[in-house]
Chain A
């Protein structure tokens, strides 16, 4: 029997790693990720989890140790946030290029300076193009579910890519919510044992990480890219299998009350649940608004996204990250690019807010929808507008 428990997202992801019977955890503490490695270390210490816990001396070494562990065929897990993800940046690319299906939880955190331990998506966006499958979670249940799903998809022999699970620092990582934990037998049905086909072993010597001369580098990268994009099919299949076993069906792009909606709001992460309340209120007032949320961020679900927004007139994208000197928030840029060649497409309006843990309340979301509709109608000289920033913000031009 599955059971109803109260857990924060950090403990939920650790619990999923335990139920996945991970072999190696290598992690370095950083706020707001600390509860993840703490809980895993505790599990190892008291025998709840049989795994090697490597208390490395930096995030760079955390991911490097994960590479070594994955190379010998161990199921490998780590977690980090903000500056930690930036410090391991170089190694993050290697994990995907070497096709090591490491799973990593990110408790999203703003980047310095000024120092901020609080949430935004700057860390996630900085690793956007690293070749990791990436999902965003709306709540703690999803932090658990996506972690299990990450092992299932990343380790699939057709995939063999690492997977990042993003959940908002503090807002989810440190907030206790009710959620459902499955039976171990259900997890075992969903998640096959990890059989890495290229494990380093003296019985069959192999060279991992030969260097690429210009004659081969392009072919190598393109082959990776083709394989990476194909992983979307397994991602979908993984959600289907997950739903069939656990009863919760997820989609690459989640739509909420989008039927007949003229205006759609697009959010990622924990913003989504707050936005739903505002959508409900507006729907009660008879306003034709809906919400879409990108769950799968990489590989970008182009087809599913276009399908989700095709009937709307206005699409308001609410980013939690600045793309410095760029065309808007990173998500709005991608969304615009995804729609550019479409004959019929909504007008995209870009907002940025919730940086460095700034709380976004219901009224902020109401403002975004109302102001977004106004901009769609009358236009704006600014490339994007900000939400909840004190003082008048102007001069954001191309």
Chain B
């Protein structure tokens, strides 16, 4: 069957929806949008292993499923290990002539908790063993499915239900774990960040990650209106502000070489990103300044890596 596309400027996007509607994601969910785009990028020849979390719950209440591609869910922290088995299984079955040769991409999906906290060991193992798989981390910066508890991906200063802002606390007192750097440290061929506010960039990166032989990691910022306490109709703008302020730069690391995909000559002040969000509402000026300072440092460091890669 011939694949049909819609044309947006110079970008062709497949019309077919591999994530069926009727799921129960919240209104304005950035993760659902990112997933829809990722599914378009991946196409049909995939097997997906999905960790426990919002996505799994919203797409698979028995007897319904939103998945028009082969999909499995077993547990929270084991997706990378599970996809290791599927990938190795498919490869050996084809090698032994027990199933016809076919290019099937193995994809593991988890949230920020399932990736940077409880699933980190399994992910590190799968990277190290060099399985041919793509790992998508949908990062909404807290345990949203269980009710907005802090994770190691929650940014400094954000208020969550287990690191709430209060008289004696600003909320999260630790810095967001740099999962991208951890992935890069495994010397895998492809690592990238993406955000559905930049849909074609996201599609391209997911596609690239799926095509590359060996492990690939795409870290997708998924704006969560429920957990971030923002209006449901501004999630695209919030995603854009995350990029434009330098809080969540869009870049990729291909064979160890850094490239910025959206490079602003001048970053917007972080305040523009923080202010509309209820989770940051309590932050005093000096804390916002601290965040600004940190973003400036990190962004400079990232730019230095990009420059070094180009040399």
Report A's interface with B, CB cutoff 8 A. 23-24, 26, 50-52, 54-58, 60-62, 64-74, 76, 90-91, 94, 98, 193, 200-202, 205-213, 216, 220
Contacts and interface: CB of A to CB of B under 8 A. Distances in A.
A210 B49 contact: no
In this complex, which of B44, B60, B102 has the most chain A Cβ atoms within 10 angstroms of its Cβ? B60
A91 B95 contact: no
Interface of B: 44-47, 49, 56-57, 60-65, 67-75, 77-78, 80-93, 95-96, 98-99, 102, 104, 121-122, 124-125, 128-129
A221 B77 CA distance: 23
A202 B104 CA distance: 8
Chain B facing A: main interface SS: mixed
Contact of B81 (A65, A71, A73, A208): A65
Contact of A68 (B60, B61, B71, B82): B82
A193 B47 CA distance: 23
Contact of A65 (B57, B62, B84): B84
Of B62, B69, B70, B81, most buried by chain A (CB within 10 Å of CB) is B81
A64 B71 contact: no
B221 to A, nearest CB: 26
B122 A60 contact: yes
Given A57-B122, A205-B71, A210 B64 contact: yes
Interface centre among B45, B49, B92, B102 (most CB of A within 10 A): B92
A212 to B, nearest CB: 5
Contacts of B61: 210-211, 213
Contact of A210 (B62, B89, B98): B62
B44 A202 contact: yes
Contacts of A52: 88-89, 91-92
Given A24-B89, A71-B86, A56 B81 contact: yes
Given A69-B88, A72-B90, A23 B98 contact: yes
Given A57-B128, A201-B70, 19 more contacts: A23-B89, A23-B96, A24-B89, A50-B95, A51-B92, A56-B84, A56-B125, A57-B124, A60-B81, A65-B81, A68-B84, A70-B85, A74-B88, A91-B74, A200-B71, A200-B72, A208-B72, A210-B64, A211-B60
Nearest to B74: A94
A76 B89 contact: yes
A216 B60 CA distance: 13
